Amino acid sequence: MQLGHIVDIHKGCTHVGLEQSDEGHVLVFPKHIGVDGNLIFEDLIYVTIEPTAEPFALETHDILYACYFDTNVAVLFPELPDKYIFANPILRLRVNDQSTVKPEYLAWHMNTPSFRKTTDEIRMNKIMRWIDPSLLKQLDIPIPPVRDQLSLVGKHVSERG
């Protein structure tokens, strides 16, 4: 199934001109996404972005996709107490129907060598080495039954320890 039928994809905000503050939204930059697929919660800044935060707001189980230059990794966003937004060139993928596609599975699949190879090949033909959401939406994603999705993710978690 094409990725565009499974998720809503949104580009991150331009952080230029955002005012830092002691409260507001935590801004996730590319440097906060580790190559191992983990979020790095260091050097976080709070910004004031109201009322335009909505398109950039992160929710539990959103997938942050960093696919630019030498980075190609998907991260599942955890449940956190603060309000978070994300900066360009990060893409946010939000699964449309979690009863048929588990975000954990999709993030796992996007980190497989075959998916990374496909997106790397697309990016090699670009001057700016990041992937456009319109191209990402066209990629086919295998969608096994939910039980199998969870099993694949569980095996991966067990292997990583």
Domain CATH code at residue 90: 3.90.220.20
What are the distances in angstroms from CA 44 to CA 27, 29, 106, 110?
7, 9, 26, 26
Per DSSP bridges, beta strands 63-68 and 19-21 are unpaired
Provide the pLDDT for residue 36.
Answer: 84
Lowest mean pLDDT across 14-18, 52-56, 122-126:
122-126
The residue-averaged pLDDT of 25-33 equals 91
Residue 66, beta-bridge partner list: 73
Residue pair 56/64 in contact by the 8 Å Cβ criterion: no
φ, ψ for residue 103, nearest 5 deg: -55, -35
Lowest mean pLDDT across 16-25, 33-42, 56-65:
16-25
Containing structural domain, residue 47: 3-160
Q: What rounded mean pLDDT belongs to the chain?
A: 88
| Among 32, 30, 26, residue whose Cα is nearest residue 48 | 26
* Residue 17 clears pLDDT 90, i.e. is over it: no
* Separation of alpha carbons 152 and 109, rounded Å: 9
Burial class (CB in 10 A: 0-12, 13-18, 19+), 150: middle
Provide the pLDDT for residue 113.
Answer: 92
Query: What's the domain count of the chain?
Result: 1
Provide the pLDDT for residue 50.
Answer: 67
Residue pair 141/109 in contact by the 8 Å Cβ criterion: yes
Residues 62-117 have pLDDT tens digits of: 999 988 767 789 999 999 988 999 998 899 999 999 999 999 999 999 999 999 88
Measured in whole angstroms, the distance separating CA 88 from the mean position of its chain's CA atoms is 11
